[in-house]
Amino acid sequence: MQQDYPEVSETLITQTLPNGLRVLIVPKPDYHETYAQFAVDYGGIDTRYVPVGGSEMVQDPEGIAHFLEHKLFEKADHDAFDLFGATGASANAFTGATSTAYLFSTSQAVAENLTTLLDFVQDPYFTAQTVAKEKGIIGQEIQMYQDSPGWLLYYGILGNLYPDHPVAHDVTGSLESIDRITPEALYQAYQTFYQPSNMTLTIVGNVDPAALLALIEANQAAKSFAPATPITRGVAFDGDVATILPYRALNLPVVRPKSAVGLKGQRDIGGDQAGTRYQVAVRLLLEMLFGDSSPLYQDWYDRGLIDDSFDYDYQVARTFNYVTFAGDTEDPQALSDAIVAVLAQGADQPSLTEARFARLKQAGLGKYYQSLNSLERIAGQLSAQSFTAVNAFELADVMRAVTLDELKTIAGELFDLAAVSVCHVLPEVSE
């Protein structure tokens, strides 16, 4: 199916193959580069599930999705990175809380690199020896993150907001959890989640869509896949504020303290038009109140309460959503108190004016149109939204439809002090 979006001069071609794989292609004839992303709806939180052929829930070790991502590159006689490198392509992969993606960018040999991408992701190879070797490599990565105060602050506030949900666990796992990973566990997770029907292939760039679709169809037809099986996951939406830990302090070897405030979302936000509109409205609301052009930001900066490190983040995924505010500060308690005081005002915010709303909406639209110049951004957004009912080329219409009254209504609901938690990173006290 081809759908044209004249307002942004984009065309999206979509096709679902007989094995269930979704293919999205955005031709960009004026570009030299092509970017491809092969994504699976499986991430760090998916450690409880009913495996293919089973009837009971299993509990995998934390970090297994990330471990699996690493291991898929390595085969019996080669490493997929070498195949990409031989053509001059740049390849990478990442694991998030709810998805894993494998990607490459190239200005040549698109068909060859696309074949490599499909083949290495769809050909798992795990042995006791290679798994043991990878534990040492990932163990070093885990220890590196444990030396990062910012990383520990982030997972500290998530641990406060979600003490009973796996989103609070580092996607890389722990030294103890990855030690329990076996080739059998990797194959079981792979067979359950890496079904073509649970995956999306997104390609953006100077390509011939018909030729690429023919290549992908032939590649998939030549492989044998088990029939698609519904996936039963063991993690439900967590919007419970009763479980929140209100405060945590981490004493670490830092010179400058850090402060974070977390706000747990209590509404399960769907992937439909209404859910997308809600997310756009929340992001506009946060930019109006806490963005670097806001009166609050300028006041806090002038007072020395924050510096350029201060930022907010809004994350929405299946089974959770939250807002975090964080930054370096000389007075972490004063900063967290100031943020909480703003949240306590609910919809009664002086900076929520029609003039400022109109200006920031226009700025947001400008940033959106600018993002369409990035092949990586287009592919990333389309891939992430491929498991929902809205795609990246429809966001401008959604943004235009949002009203200031919606933002005020959301502020009155979302800014619930019962859903707030605070985490500080403080310098270690010398004895």
All structural domains of the chain, each given as residue ranges with its CATH number in brackets, are 2-233 (3.30.830.10), 247-427 (3.30.830.10)
Model pLDDT, residue 146: 87
* pLDDT tens, position by position, 95-132: 999 999 999 999 999 999 999 999 999 999 999 999 99
pLDDT number for residue 239: 97
- pLDDT for the residue numbered 292: 94
pLDDT in tens, 310-344: 999 999 999 999 999 999 999 999 999 999 999 99
Mind listing the pLDDT tens digit for each residue in 374-385? 999 898 888 887
Q: What pLDDT was estimated at residue 389?
A: 66
> What is the Cα–Cα distance from 345 to 414, expressed in whole angstroms?
11
How long is the chain?
431
Identify the segments of the chain with pLDDT beneath 70.
Answer: 387, 389, 430-431
Q: Phi and psi for 161 in degrees, rounded to 5?
A: -75, -35
pLDDT at 429: 76
What pLDDT, on a 0 to 100 scale, did the predictor assign at position 208?
95
Of 283, 254, 268, the C-alpha closest to 406 is 283
SS3 readout for the chain? CEEEEHHHCEEEEEEECCCCCEEEEEECCCCCCEEEEEEECCCCCCCEEECCCCCCCEECCCCHHHHHHHHHCECCCCEHHHHHHHCCCEEEEEECCCCEEEEEEECCCHHHHHHHHHHHHCCCCCCHHHHHHHHHHHHHHHHHHHCCHHHHHHHHHHHHHCCCCHHHCCCCCCHHHHCCCCHHHHHHHHHHHCCHHHEEEEEEECCCHHHHHHHHHHHHHCCCCCCCCCCEECCCCCCCCCCCCCEEEEEECCCCCEEEEEEECCCCCCCCHHHHHHHHHHHHHHHHHHCCCCHHHHHHHHCCCCCCCCEEEEEEECCEEEEEEEEECCCHHHHHHHHHHHHHCCCCCCCCCHHHHHHHHHHHHHHHHHHCCCHHHHHHHHHHHCCCCCCHHHHHHHHHHCCHHHHHHHHHHHCCHHHEEEEEEEECCCC
Kindly report the pTM of this predicted structure. Answer: 0.94
The residues annotated as belonging to the active site are: 69
